[in-house]
Structure 1
Amino acid sequence: MKRGWLLLAMLCAVYFGAAVQAQAQPPSQVLVMLRAAAPHLRAADGYALGYTAAPDETARLRIARELAHQYGLQLVDNWPMPALALDCFVMRMAPGMSADQITQALSHDTRVESAQPRQAFHTLSKDPDPLYSLQPTAAQWHLAELHALSTGRNIAIAEVDSGVDNVNPDLAGQITEQRNFVDDGAYRAELHGTEVAGIIVAREGNGVGIVGVAPQAHLLALRACWQLSQDSAAAACDSFTLAKALQYALEKHAQIINLSLTGPDDRLLRRLLDVAIASRVTVVGAVDDTAADGGFPASYPGVVAAAGEHAAVTRNGVLLAPGEDIPTTQPGARWNLVNGSSFAAAEVSGLVALVRELSPDITLTQLHDVLHARTALGLASMRPMTIDACAAVAQVSHRCTCDCAVAHASVEVPRR
């Protein structure tokens, strides 16, 4: 699907999801990080005001204005990043300025902790093809049997994506919280975010639509991406909107973060991912099969990388899940078929919720072994492998599920 860029200078940059890798326009804004004392830096309740009023915040704002004036920039936005003990300031460059030169100059200024361009990201999906045979996760992963053991109950999943519709009958009552981190008005229901949400938490047993992989998980619908047109699920994001959403997910103690998107390697996002992974948050990223390394953040160490079963992926450790003709929710009382790594990642996030309900104290290493259950049994190498959901759940439940052969696996994980 086509993806694009929020900034006015980049509205002409269109992305074609996993099918086509488009070239983004040069960034017109930079992110400038100033140090802040962590105990005193806290976002205002609900992020309605951005900051609490404090002398140190006022001082940093003054420094940011001084920097903008000195370097010929325009200060346009700011946001607290308590997880990194930083304030992040957005500054717009004048026409003809070089983002690399400006960020290098700012990085050498003793008042600045770090600086980087505001980079473009996009979600990963493909236009549906009605000729493909239907491959529902419910059939391949035997969801009925898995849900007899686990439904993801009380597991908090942060979906960082475009807006999610909570009116669709399969999503009514399934969304714990909706937050908007895009400066384009109020929170809104959009296609890609709603499609990803349905795969993860669609209601079970309501007589309509589909069943989510983790229907009793708590979904935080964090809108960091924006839909480009009414008739397309094309959605785009950037470093700043994604960083705000990740910071919020950390403050809300999300146990899983779903990132069905891709973009360039980004320093600020890497630092936030480091905090998440160190806090034992499972981060699931969609693989971009047009990028040699799978794209960022899927390629980042510690991120669980997921791709569709038929994706052209060769990178070691990638988990393959159903990625073609996946039925899911759309805004309103609508459903449709979707394709792409975005939705494989959503399935894996749901499966991680099932595993974490059964084993709340599971470590990242143990989770890796569980998700690569066949590898643990010596039946596969670390090359991309089709995930065995039955094996994964059997390993943590120590009970026979839909594949009794895996009940004797040797991976030891903590039980409830």
Structure 2
Amino acid sequence: MKHVWLFAIWLSVGMAAHAQTQPPTQVLVMLRAAAPHLRAGDGYAVSYTASPDENARLRIAHALAQQYGLQVVDSWPMPALGLDCFVMRLAPGTSASDVTQLLSHDARVESAEPRQAFHTLAGDDPLYSLQPTANNWHLAELHAAATGHGVAIAEVDSGVDSGNPDLAGQVVEQRNFVDDSAYRAELHGTEVAGIIVAREGNGVGIAGVAPHAQLLALRACWQLADGSAASACDSFTLAKALQYALQKHVHIINLSLSGPDDRLLERLLDAATAQRIAVVGAVDDSAADGGFPASYKGVLAVAGERSTVQVHDVLHAPAEDIPTTQPGARWNLVNGSSFAAAEVSGLVALLRDLSPDITLTQLHDALHARTALGLVSMRPMTIDACAAVAQVSHRCICHCAATHASLGEPRR
């Protein structure tokens, strides 16, 4: 079937980047939670129950707000950290840094920080010729060995349209951490989802890198009203989604977004690493260090193949002319490190499918493996998917002659 792709240029970070220049108007205040509150079931993430301990923390939060001229506007339990997080609005003309410094020295407060802005990382490059990226990783050959079966991936992003024909039945759960409105389908989240888990062999559209993985579509970002795929997030919505992903014991977290260093998010990423969850982050080409969370320790930082950002241990993956899903029965070509990260999340799912007990260190080593062909033709850190799968499965899947030569083995 011949597909006609609708082309577009994404003005991805303009409005979101502008939002980051505005000073924070809210702060996040963490209070220590008592042990019984930490034994939350799947339904905890809706609201507080009226236990004495929770009421006590609410009273403390309101007392803090009154003392420091704030207003409590929201709250969320963070059992992965043993905390409850309260959102408090600053009074007009108040400095977030000054208030958080005062709060941090209050004995009732575990920690405090400004509520910070983040944005997704779709590209804004000129249009390129259609080049199916599946060819780069020999996807059909990889799928003969693994498809991501039984691997749970949390996509922390804007909303995903599970009604697209390529995503029908591919999304096991949708949650909205942005607001109390209904879950909604949005561009960036749907595009990232298609690259990871689009249905294979259904006669339409594309095949995801891990079509049999289980995708949790956690809406922590919202599409901006400029008609592009640009989406904004903040540290509170992201923290809520990360906490939920930890609670659900996912295997992979995809973060195709960037923003400032954030202590609360760092702690949640540390908790993910402790649970052996692979966290994949998109490199921000506009940030000298690649941006957070890609620059944070333990995160698999992924940039496009043409990126020149110098990030320690960065992986390069296809980031140009990637066909993927859009809301409705639509597909398009996209560019940007958001989508390179999505491809790597799919590849990690294949590796976990092949080796469910793989450690994060072994996963890192596999993603940096090389075939003899890769040593000649690829940039030093460009992912060699065939070599990664060969290292984990201990057998050749594609590029067999080069793979065995690099391993010093006879070709079977």
> TM-score, normalising length from structure 1?
0.91
- Give, as a single letter, the amino acid of the residue that structure 2 aligns with 1:15: A
Question: How does 1:5-404 map onto structure 2 within 5 Å?
Answer: 14-15=15-16, 23-43=20-40, 45-47=42-44, 49-127=46-124, 129-130=126-127, 132-183=128-179, 185-229=181-225, 231-374=227-370, 379=375, 385-404=381-400
Contact 1:395 / 1:406 at 8 angstroms: preserved in 2? no
Q: In structure 2, do the counterparts of structure 1 residues 25 and 3 end up closer, same or farther at CA, with 3 Å as the change threshold? A: farther
Q: Is the Cα contact below 8 Å between 2:162 and 2:168 reproduced in 1? A: yes
Match of 2:3 in 1: none
* CA 1:136–1:300: 2 relative to 1, 3 Å: same
Shift of residue 103 of structure 1?
0.1
Count of residue pairs the alignment pairs up: 397
The Cα shift of 1:53 comes to 3.0
Asked if the contact 1:42–1:80 (Cα under 8 Å) also holds between the matched residues in 2, the reply is no
> Aligned partners of 1:213 and 1:26: how far apart in 2?
39
CA contact (8 A) 2:122 2:339 kept: yes
SS in 1 for 2:230: strand
- Secondary structure at 1:60 match in 2: helix
Judge conservation of contact 1:307–1:320 (CA < 8 Å) in 2.
yes
Please tell me whether the aligned partners of residues 199 and 206 of structure 2 are also in contact (alpha carbons under 8 angstroms): yes
SS in 1 for 2:224: strand
Instruction: Please tell me the root mean square deviation across aligned C-alpha atoms, in Å.
Output: 2.3
Contact 2:30 2:110 in 1 (8 A): yes
The residue aligned with 2:7 is none
What's the secondary structure of 1:236's corresponding residue? strand
1:379 offset after TM fit, Å? 4.3
Q: TM-score, normalised by structure 2?
A: 0.92
Greater CA drift, 270-279 or 226-235: 226-235
CA distance in 1, matches of 2:180, 2:330: 25
User: 2: distance between equivalents of 1:318 and 1:226?
Assistant: 27
Give ranges in structure 1 of 5+ residues lacking alignment.
5-12, 412-416
CA gap of 1:232–1:62, structure 2 versus 1, over 3 A, is: same
Contact map agreement 2:47 2:76 (CA 8 A) in 1: yes
> SS of the residue aligned with 1:357?
helix
Confirm or deny: 8 A CA contact 1:121 1:238 kept in the other structure: yes
Structure 1 stretch displaced more, 223-232 or 79-88:
223-232
In structure 2, do the counterparts of structure 1 residues 375 and 83 end up closer, same or farther at CA, with 3 Å as the change threshold?
farther
Q: Report the 3-state secondary structure (helix = DSSP H, G, I; strand = E; otherwise coil) of the residue aligned with 2:229.
A: strand
Rounded to whole Å, the distance in 2 between the matches of 1:99 and 1:116 is 8
Letter paired with 2:330: R
User: C-alpha displacement at 1:126, in angstroms?
Assistant: 1.4
For residue 361 of structure 1, report the CA deviation from its aligned partner: 1.0
Is the CA contact (8 Å cut-off) linking 1:43 and 1:52 kept in structure 2? no
Letter in 2 for 1:338: V
d(CA) in 2 for partners of 1:48, 1:294: 32
Which secondary structure state, in structure 2, belongs to the residue aligned with residue 369 of structure 1? helix
Matched residue SS, 2:140: helix
**Residue identity matched to 1:220:** L
Q: Which moved more, 1:254-263 or 1:177-186?
A: 177-186
CA–CA separation in structure 2 for the residues paired with 1:76 and 1:15: 23
Aligned residues of 2:255 and 2:279 also touching (Cα < 8 A): yes
Query: C-alpha distance in 2, partners of 1:346/1:394?
Result: 21
Shift of 1:229: 1.8
Q: What secondary structure sits across from 1:229 in the alignment?
A: coil
Q: Offset of 1:230 from its aligned partner? A: 6.5
